[in-house]
Amino acid sequence: MNASRTVLFIPAAAALLLGSAPAALAQSFPPALSTPNSTAVGAPAARTAGPNVNWTSYNSDVSGSRYLPLDQINAGNFNDLEVAWRFKTDMFGSRPEYKLEGTPLAVDGVIYTTAGTRRAVVAINGQTGELLWSYAVHEGKRSAVSPRALSGRGLSYWTDGKKRRILYTTIGYRLVSLDAETGQPDPEFGNNGSIDLKTDWDQEIGDLEEGEAGAHSAPAISGNTIIIGAAFREGFTPVNHNNTKGYVRAFDVRTGKRMWTFHTIPKKGEVGYETWYKNSAEINGNAGVWTQVSIDPELNLAYLNVESPTSDFYGGHRPGPGLFGNSLVAVDLTTGERKWHYQLIHHEIWDLDNSSAPLLMNVTVDGKPRKVVGVPSKQGFFYVFDRATGKPVWPIKEVKVQKGNVPGEWYSPTQPIPSKPAAYSMNGVEEGDLINFTPELRKKALEVTSRFVLGPVYTPPIISTKDKLGVINNWAQGGTNWPGGSFDPETGIAYVYACGACISATGLQPGPDTMTNIDWVVGVDGQPVVMIRGPGEGAGADSPAPPPSGGSGVPRLNVDGLPLVKPPYGTISAIDVNKGEIKWRVAHGETPDFVRNHPALKGMDIPRTGQSTYQIGTLVTKSLVIAGENQVTSPGNRPRGAMLRAYDKDNGKEVGAVFMAGPQSGSPMTYMVNGKQYIIVAVSGGTYSGEYIAYSLPKN
């Protein structure tokens, strides 16, 4: 039996209606599309007259800048901001969401975003926060087993001046096109408004319900081309090294017809196939593009930041450098043809997958205008290339790195290290990085680390033994993660958050036959190997209660409850891309309560430490860099909560902060309606469920 879809319109305030709408409209999918229930509820979204400034792409633009030159909110009045409206997302799914990572779009006074464990699409009045319409797809088991559940990180907007469309990927990996005015699926797109992304993919994915593939980033659109990447399970214990391959596809945004496919794991006869030794390209997967895609319409190039192949910490099943894993690849927007590539890591075994949207930047280097592309990274390196040719702007040297001891592993003898800019965050853990508030704490840190291996970036994982449990590192969540960076086109300065204390330890144990076919997986000597799950896995609205996440079994890496390493625990850096230099760097975030109130530090004057997290994104305006905190604190001069902070973008001085009831979990954005500027930030985490909060200046 084919499932059906019901579209129901409920009139909203008369002032918001563009015209009359039928009371109800029911349609059925054709037999060829066995799609679960979906609903669109609401009234047509009204466009607002007056001076409006829009945020029409996940990163503000397809260049990835996260920048708008608005200055109504500035250093002189940031502290005066007040809540204009709030939009709670609890009702958009069978349970509240505590991992709301979305960045909304703003188009002519209407906010479009994803919400809740159902990953609904909602249209909101940008001045009042009133719901205008909502759309959701009920995908049943396909959603319940999705590797990328919850509301995702965003959606996309397209218009040709007449038609206006909102496009997004569902939890079950379908691409849907909605009328931006009404929330109804576009009947001219795909099959009654959607495309099954698990089909027409140059590979057989097997069971369309349980086949591992999903997406949580927003599609990238330029002209009539929409580009879709793929994401897979989070976690360190893959079931199969021959996982789904993360091929990237482009579709016609009007019709949904596939335009091209780029094979991130090359097929036989294609460039790069020879870098997968012993024909291992045939039996390995992943290498998807799960972060945002950036596009240069003038050069007609799309920039794909490709993640690592399966698996995160062991690559013995895929000997060789393994193109295009961990590579920045520029492809022709029209044909998908590779124009150039640069591999940032050869044969990746550190979970340092390319995580950030490429930043397309026009700068002046050595007195000459240059079109460049920059890549922030988990390594804390900021790689910079010529956008047209892929040639590094400053030398990137192949540096000899250590070889590990894991049987069957293939080790690259060198890794590319940028000469400029300098690393903007700690990217290895060595003895000099350990806590040194007091001699006693330092001594304890040395005792804790005596059972581990310390080393610089690219110190390889080891077999876990009683003497050496693993390698202490900040690989998986250090540096810059999925929020990426931002860029000011007026000055040529990039701004990037980095986690300096996202410390973990990695040791390997044989993969149990009952769990995985990978020879070596994360584990601790003397303890059972457990499946380590990602924080959002199995948490969608159609899922049962989220499964428990197995721990690594490694002893806690702290010293009497304090972080193992020295502060700052989290930073924002300003990188002058004209010169390849770090202009300034500040600790971002209030000192955590457990540090400020620690008895061992009583009476000591500890400068602000910043906060450790991997999910802080920055917003840049005419004069400010804006970012929220990801931890709640109680410093004593305000209620317990987190702060949205503003810095002078020229010197990094904090110029204002406003209260948030919960921690920032999605990157902030800004827009203007009828001459009034707003800032929206997604907050969630801990016991605080997902909410979008809009700030503006008082009416007077």
Rounded Cα gap, residues 123 and 620, in angstroms = 24
| 589 secondary structure, DSSP code | S
Q: Is 433 helix (H, G, I), strand (E, B) or coil?
A: helix
| 278 secondary structure, DSSP code | G
Rounded Cα gap, residues 542 and 538, in angstroms = 9
Query: In terms of residue numbers, what domain contains 82?
Result: 4-696
pLDDT of 477 reads 84
pLDDT of 7 reads 34
Taking CA atoms, 437 is separated from 121, 356, 449, 501, 590, in Å, by 48, 33, 17, 15, 18
Rounded Cα gap, residues 243 and 291, in angstroms = 19
CATH number, residue 244: 2.140.10.10
pLDDT of 38 reads 63
Taking CA atoms, 464 is separated from 19, 386, 469, 507, in Å, by 67, 42, 5, 5
* pLDDT at residue 553 greater than cutoff 80: no
Whether residue 421 has a cis bond before it, omega within 30° of 0: yes
Q: By C-alpha distance, which of 348, 34, 53 is closest to 192?
A: 34
Q: Which amino acid is at 51?
A: P
Are 647 and 486 within 8 A, CB to CB? no
* pLDDT at residue 545 greater than cutoff 90: no
* pLDDT at residue 41 greater than cutoff 80: no
* pLDDT at residue 587 greater than cutoff 80: yes
Lowest mean pLDDT among 221-235, 287-301, 408-422: 221-235
Lowest mean pLDDT among 222-236, 343-357, 369-383, 455-469: 222-236
pLDDT of 539 reads 83
pLDDT of 10 reads 31
Mean pLDDT of 285-305: 98
DSSP notation for 617-667: --EE-SSEEEEE-SS-B--SSS-SBEEEEEEETTT--EEEEEEESS-B-S-
pLDDT of 5 reads 36
The total domain count for the chain is 1
Instruction: Kindly tell me the sign of the dihedral angle through the C-alpha atoms of 274, 349, 416, 339.
Output: positive
* pLDDT at residue 12 greater than cutoff 50: no
Rounded Cα gap, residues 327 and 346, in angstroms = 9
Rounded Cα gap, residues 217 and 229, in angstroms = 8
pLDDT of 556 reads 74
- pLDDT tens digits, 206-221: 889 999 999 999 999 9
| Average pLDDT over all residues of the chain | 91
pLDDT band at 551 (very low <50, low <70, confident <90, very high): low
Mean pLDDT of 420-445: 96
Mean pLDDT of 672-700: 96
Rounded Cα gap, residues 275 and 269, in angstroms = 12
Find all residues with CB under 8 Å of 450, minimum gap 6, and list them.
Answer: none
Mean pLDDT of 23-39: 36
Above pLDDT 70, what percent of the chain? 93
- pLDDT tens digits, 99-125: 999 999 999 999 999 999 999 999 999
Place of tokens 């482009």: 250
pLDDT band at 536 (very low <50, low <70, confident <90, very high): confident
pLDDT of 533 reads 73
* pLDDT at residue 547 greater than cutoff 70: no
